[in-house]
Structure 1
Amino acid sequence: MDINLISIFVSVAAAHFLALLSPGPDFVLVVKSALKGNQKNAIGVALGIATANAVYITLCLIGVGAILSTSIGLMVTLKVIGGLFLMYIAYHALKAPKNAYANFSTNTKASTEFSLSCFCKEFVTGFLSGILNPKNLLFYLSLFTVALTPEVSISFKVLLGVWMTLVVFFWDVAIIYMLSKTTIRQKFIRAAFYIDKVTGVVLGAIGFNILKSVWSKQP
């Protein structure tokens, strides 16, 4: 690998990771899922988010992303569905009574029982969160457009895509396992009710602003 490719890889990887550090709907969902009490099931959310990112990365690498980004109808549809999805999650977070959090376990050993149905449900939630956020598509599209030229080999692009997908997954898994630590978990669970309400407000506001932006652009 020559110095130019190394420079491209480092630049793209660094920009991607810095964007990952910025809390968004996906981050909020990961924290919310981790606090439910089962770290193994919560990994489903991380896998779903990573899979959605992989889909957009693949579309951008093969050139479909550029076509999709110019489809106004598709982008508007994604925004509307994504906004409604976030508001749906926000609604359930805000309506949950305080006693609903009494079953949150602070015992990390008791929170390791795996449930395939719960895992799949978490996966779908994570995937929908990622795939219904058109900002993900636009981010990867802009990243690849700026950094990758036609001269860059397909194998290098695949390597970069796999790297970013894995970084998304393992970053979210790291957050989940951090919240599985007893001392950290106890602090978060004591504040779980309030965290969930803040989560609801944040996701609801994001969803509302997405729908508002779509509505404001209508003739």
Structure 2
Amino acid sequence: MGTHLLGLFLTVAFAHFLALLSPGPDFILVVKTALNARRIDAIAIAAGIASANAIYISTCLIGVGALIAANSQLMSLLSLAGGAFLIYLAVHALSARKQNYAIADTASLPTSDRLKSSLTGKFFTGFVSGILNPKNLFFYLSLFTLVLTNDVNLLFKVVLGIWMTAAVFLWDAALAFFLSAQPMQRRFIRIAYFIDKMSGVLLGAIGLTIVKSALLN
């Protein structure tokens, strides 16, 4: 890898990492799940989010993302769907009962079939959260204006895409691993109910803002 490409890679990777540090709907969803569920559930959420990001990264790197973003009607529909999904998550969090918040012990763990189904559901929730967030598409489009040039080869784009997808998963999985540790959960268990309600309010506010913006455009 030449000096130019190395500098380009480091620039994009650093900007991407800074974006990961900024709390958004996906971040809130991972934190909420890690504090209120099992570690594997939060990691499944992280995997779903990373998969959605992988799709946006791929479409942007091959130029399809620009075509999607140029279609105002499609972007409005995507925004409406994303906002509605966040509102759905908010309603689910706000309607949960206080007695539902407890750390599951090994005796209460689901069977393998139920576990598989539960993990599939968590993965799907993470995926939908990521894919219906139009800010992800716009972020990658703006970031890849540096990359989509004639002097950048396909191999570089593939390596960059794999790196960024891995970074999304590893960051969210690290959050899930840290926050789902039993000492951490025990520390938060008394306020988990209120954390979930706060998460619901934040997700709902973000969802309503996205829907409002989509309807006004």
* TM-score under structure 2 length normalisation: 0.93
1:152 paired residue number: 152
Bigger shift: residues 52-61 or 111-120? 111-120
The amino acid across from 2:80 in the alignment is V
1:162 deviates by 0.2
The amino acid across from 1:197 in the alignment is K
Q: Structure 1: give runs of 5+ residues left out of the alignment.
A: none
CA distance in 2 between partners of 1:172 and 1:64 (Å): 26
1:172 deviates by 0.7
1:52 paired residue number: 52
The amino acid across from 1:104 in the alignment is I
For residues 92-114 of structure 1, give each alpha carbon's deviation from its aligned partner in whole angstroms, at most 9, with x where no partner exists: 1111121121x333x69987986
The amino acid across from 1:216 in the alignment is L
- Equivalenced residue count is 215
CA distance in 2 between partners of 1:134 and 1:60 (Å): 13
2:188 paired residue number: 188
CA distance in 2 between partners of 1:192 and 1:211 (Å): 28
**Against the structure 1 CA distance between its residues 108 and 206, is the aligned structure 2 distance closer, same or farther, given a 3 Å change threshold?**
farther
Alignment of 1:19-168 (within 5 A): 19-101=19-101, 103-105=102-104, 115-168=115-168
Cα RMSD, aligned residues only: 1.8
For residues 103-158 of structure 1, give each alpha carbon's deviation from its aligned partner in whole angstroms, at most 9, with x where no partner exists: 333x6998798611111000000000000011101100110013442210100000
1:215 deviates by 2.0
1:36 deviates by 3.1
1:189 deviates by 1.9
Contact 2:84 2:207 survives alignment (8 Å) = yes
CA distance in 2 between partners of 1:196 and 1:45 (Å): 16
1:216 deviates by 2.1
Q: Structure 2: give runs of 5+ residues left out of the alignment.
A: none
* TM-score under structure 1 length normalisation: 0.93
The amino acid across from 1:56 in the alignment is Y
Bigger shift: residues 32-41 or 6-15? 32-41
CA distance in 2 between partners of 1:148 and 1:26 (Å): 26
Contact 1:85 1:207 survives alignment (8 Å) = yes
The amino acid across from 1:183 in the alignment is P
Pair 1:13-2:36 in alignment? no
2:203 paired residue number: 203
**Against the structure 1 CA distance between its residues 109 and 15, is the aligned structure 2 distance closer, same or farther, given a 3 Å change threshold?**
farther
For residues 149-205 of structure 1, give each alpha carbon's deviation from its aligned partner in whole angstroms, at most 9, with x where no partner exists: 221010000000000000000111101110132322212222110100000100000
SS in 2 for 1:183: helix
CA distance in 2 between partners of 1:162 and 1:60 (Å): 13
- Percent same amino acid at aligned positions? 53
Contact 1:83 1:210 survives alignment (8 Å) = yes
CA distance in 2 between partners of 1:151 and 1:113 (Å): 53
The amino acid across from 2:56 in the alignment is Y
1:24 deviates by 0.5
Contact 1:38 1:111 survives alignment (8 Å) = no
Contact 1:61 1:157 survives alignment (8 Å) = yes
